[in-house]
Amino acid sequence: MPVPRYWRYQDQRYNLAGSRCTVCGTVYFPQRPLCPKCHRKSLGKMERVTLSGEGRIISYTVVHDPLSDYEHLSPYIMALIETPEGATLLGQIVDAEPDEVEIGKEVEMVFRKLREEGKSGTIQYGYKFRLKG
Amino acid sequence: MRDVAIIGVGMTKFGEHWDRSFRELGIEAGFKAIVDAGIESRDVDALYVGNMSGGLFLEQEHVASMISEAVGFTERNLPAVRVEAADASGGVAFQQAVLSVASGIHDTVVVGGAEKMSDLTSIEVTDAIASVADRSWEALFGATLPSLYALMARRHMVEFGTTREQMAQVAVKNHYNGARNPYAQFQREIKLSTVLNATPVAEPLGMFDCAPISDGAAAVVITTMDKAKEMGKDILVRVAGIGLATDTLALARRKTFTSFPATRAAAERAYKMAGVGPKDVDVAEVHDSYTIGEILAIEDLGFFKKGEGGIATEEGRTSLEGEIPVNTSGGLKARGHPLGATGVAQIVELVWQLRGEAEGRQVKDARIGLAHNVGGAGGTVAVTILEVI
């Protein structure tokens, strides 16, 4: 897979860069060029916003039947994370055993390797989450 | 708009057809539907094909031309359209074909749905199916399709007290029905404990909460109601309502994780067009690719209140003898789930039910049937309502 496909989203995947519509105030992740609520009124009025990386688990699952990219990590934990900014993210929970994970627990973003493009290809990085405290 | 009737149906047995190709499966289903309709190939004006991913499963795109040739339609250079909407491809293809007849563009159309999945290994299939989720924001981060349903299942358990046993009962019921369907991939009953003790896939969902990897094809023939009447059919099955809806590709970008808003929107459109409501439906085929999917469906379609789908299933209200029999065919769980074929196979089952031909699993006096076909984790939903006139 050509590098640009991953490179173009680096700011979002490395820094949790989202978009805020300055017309209605809604925060989106990933970024959007237009607000789906405000339509053309939001043209040129979407500003870059960096999510804090803080959040709360609203649901989780332990994946035993993985994608080929993640076979070496199986079983791994995926969770829906509600952020204080208002956007919901999907990501892996790392550095925790499944029985430590609960709905309502607070998490913070960590920067980790996601996958690699074969043995000699690029390595893709991005956000995962770990339990706070 | 012209009234549209279904005059012929047919399908292959669903399962692992190691010895048969995508082409051969398509030919069998199409041939059966045309013979069932009592027409000749020359009476057909166009072909619609629901196929999710010839590209990923067979490294073969352009399957409309491929199937048109296989069934002999290229002799007359007929129009053929391949429709893709993840595992709602079949349901959406059917609706597009209905629009083409209703509009007056075509009179008689064959709609096929087909998928050949068993030519890939199990993990390759998991990767291919994950392409119906958001590749850039879900699959890249490790999400499989069952993991997204698992996230919804756990939310449903927390918000409404739905139990693991209630979800498992969906699989038990659908295997019971599948054991009465000669076209089903799994024609045997299972116990609740089998579902509960199965290998985990994405907790809380296990192997028996998930539809299998399947090969298969299904086809129907539709025409104008006037033509159907001229043919002197004993029982006329009318397409009473169609509704299609979309939602965000990624689950995380939704406001709710215990409902498919697209099911609600598609159902509302289909009910309105048909002039009926959920209480009028006698038999339903819903999208149980994962057991939680059937619970979401029977709530979002209005058969039961939100949060009561699990208990309704446990109480047998959706069984063959229940007030609203759901997935009499065995559903995706037991009939099998060759992705692009499923939406068309749902229509085939409803037609058999409405004509009184569903031997061994017939719902008494079924007059109105509803099909509910979901793409991915709810990004597309097609709801179709059929009635006997």
- On whether residue B236 sits in a domain, the answer given is no
A60 has a chain B CB within 8 A of its CB: yes
B181 and B91 in a common domain? no
- Nearest residue of chain A to residue B131 (CA atoms): A67
Residue B65 and residue B80 in contact, taking contact as beta carbons nearer than 8 Å:
yes
- Cβ within 8 Å, pair A68-B124: yes
B147 has a chain A CB within 8 A of its CB: yes
Residues of A in contact with B154 (CB under 8 A): 59-61, 103
CATH class name, domain A52-131: mainly beta
For B89-108, the pLDDT digits (tens) are 999 999 999 999 999 999 99
- On whether residue B128 sits in a domain, the answer given is no
B166 and B90 in a common domain? no
CATH code: domain of residue B179: 3.40.47.10
What is the least distance, in Å, from the CA of B193 to any CA of chain A? 20
B109 has a chain A CB within 8 A of its CB: no
For B274-321, the pLDDT digits (tens) are 999 999 999 999 999 999 999 999 999 999 999 999 999 999 999 999
ipTM of this model?
0.96
What's the whole-number average pLDDT of chain B?
97
Domain that holds residue B176: 142-210+241-388
What residues have CB less than 8 Å from B151, skipping those under 6 apart?
A59, A60, A61, A78, A79, A80, A90, B251, B257
- Residue A116: what pLDDT? 87
**pLDDT tens, residue order, chain A (133 aa):** 678 888 899 999 999 999 999 999 999 999 999 999 999 999 999 999 999 999 999 999 999 999 998 999 999 999 999 999 999 999 999 999 999 999 999 999 999 999 988 888 888 999 999 999 7
- Nearest residue of chain A to residue B152 (CA atoms): A59
B148: left (phi over 0), alpha (psi -120 to 50) or beta: alpha
Q: Rounded to 5 degrees, what are φ and ψ at B21?
A: -95, 170
Count of domains for chain B: 2
For B238-283, the pLDDT digits (tens) are 999 999 999 999 999 999 999 999 999 999 999 999 999 999 999 9
- Nearest residue of chain B to residue A72 (CA atoms): B142
Closest CA to B18 of B214, B179, B196, B190: B214
Structure tokens at A108: 């913070």
Residues of A in contact with B250 (CB under 8 A): 90
- Domain limits of chain A? 52-131
